[in-house]
């Protein structure tokens, strides 16, 4: 029996419709239109594609999206100055600097310059720290989207064994922490893990986030597991695929996400959600103290 395919597109569409309604309410009730500033440095084709998708999603939700595109020669000092400007700009509720950045720019310095109150990517150490101790914070968009996808299945997370393959600061580490908060038992695997398949086969929920095309085959998956594929890899044919060998694993899993059309649409959706929440919070403050 083949797995149920968990469509990120469908879930994202439902959530974006709700977000659009909330944006309309915010504009009508508080004259506040959520605003997102996006800064792109250089001409990486993938980054351009991601930024276009984010800009389109913002506009469809009724949000303002300010896009600034700079050449790769932009200095770190100049980039930090633009971030400082948007930190102080009242019509901007979220700031996103598209990664990766050119090698001469320190990514950590850039992330730390963004105000935690406008860090809608959820990368600032303050937000990561708050997430770790269960305080309210902007959650990293991809992990946030993954948890929402799992919850949409209406299967209890509490008590489940989650195995995360990958330990990046953007996906692997935070998604494990968010699922730990949902009372799952979480195991991390990575490039130094010995006998990887013996661990992954224990997973009730398997999350692959390593960036290696079709690394995870059926021998890595327990019968009936939920498989979430975060990887986006381009084959020599030009076709996109995930870290999971979809065609073989779907015969063993109970639920599986496709690539493309799985986690990706949810990442952008949670970016919109974070931007909306920022605008709602700032809107309340402006209404209270004006």
> Catalytic: which of 98, 177, 273, 280?
98
Cα–Cα nearest to 98, from 127, 78, 123: 123
Active-site residue, 239 included: no
210 is in an annotated binding site: no
263 is in an annotated binding site: no
20-49 burial string, b = 16+ CB within 10 Å, else e? bebbeebbeeeebbbbbbbbbbbebeebee
290 is in an annotated binding site: no
Whether the CB-CB separation of 183 and 172 falls below 8 Å is answered with: no
Cα separation, 265 vs 57, whole angstroms: 10
- Describe the crossing of helices 45-60 and 8-30 by its angle, rounded to 10 degrees: 50
> Catalytic: which of 15, 118, 121, 177?
121
Can you list the alpha helix ranges (DSSP code H) found in the chain? 8-30, 45-60, 76-88, 107-113, 125-132, 141-151, 172-181, 196-200, 246-249, 263-289
Tally of CA atoms within 13 A in the half-sphere of 232 that contains its CB: 11
Whether the CB-CB separation of 21 and 28 falls below 8 Å is answered with: no
> Catalytic: which of 54, 214, 250, 252?
54
Phi-psi region of 267 (alpha: psi -120 to 50; beta: other; left: phi over 0): alpha
Active-site residue, 121 included: yes
52 is in an annotated binding site: no
Just list the catalytic residues.
54, 98, 121
Q: Which residues does the annotation place in the binding site?
A: 166-168, 232
Residue ranges at the known binding site for NADP(+): 166-168, 232
């Amino acid at each position: 029996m083949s797995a149920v395919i968990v469509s990120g597109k469908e879930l994202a569409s439902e959530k974006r419709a709700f977000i659009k309604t909330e944006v309309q309410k915010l504009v009508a009730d508080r004259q506040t239109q959520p605003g997102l500033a996006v800064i792109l440095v250089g001409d990486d084709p993938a980054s351009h594609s991601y930024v276009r998708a984010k800009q389109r999603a913002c506009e469809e939700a009724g949000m303002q999206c300010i896009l600034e595109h700079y050449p790769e020669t932009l200095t770190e000092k100049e980039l930090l100055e633009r971030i400082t400007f948007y930190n102080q700009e009242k019509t901007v509720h979220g700031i996103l600097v598209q990664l990766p950045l050119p090698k001469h720019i320190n990514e950590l310095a850039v992330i730390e310059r963004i105000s935690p109150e406008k860090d809608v990517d959820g990368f600032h150490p303050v937000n990561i720290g708050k997430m770790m101790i269960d305080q309210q914070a902007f959650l990293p968009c991809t992990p946030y989207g993954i948890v929402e996808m799992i919850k949409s299945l209406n299967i209890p997370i509490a008590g489940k064994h989650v195995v995360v393959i990958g330990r990046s600061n953007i996906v692997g580490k935070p998604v494990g922490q968010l699922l730990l908060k949902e009372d799952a038992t979480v195991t991390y695997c990575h490039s130094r893990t010995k006998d990887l398949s013996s661990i992954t086969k224990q997973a009730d929920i398997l999350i692959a986030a390593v960036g290696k095309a079709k690394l995870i085959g059926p021998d890595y998956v327990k019968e009936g597991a939920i498989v979430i594929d975060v990887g986006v890899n381009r084959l020599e044919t030009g076709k996109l695929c995930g870290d999971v060998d979809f065609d073989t694993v779907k015969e063993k899993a109970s639920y599986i996400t496709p690539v493309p059309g799985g986690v990706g649409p949810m990442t952008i959706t949670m970016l919109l959600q974070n931007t909306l929440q920022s605008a709602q919070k700032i809107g309340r403050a402006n209404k209270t103290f004006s």
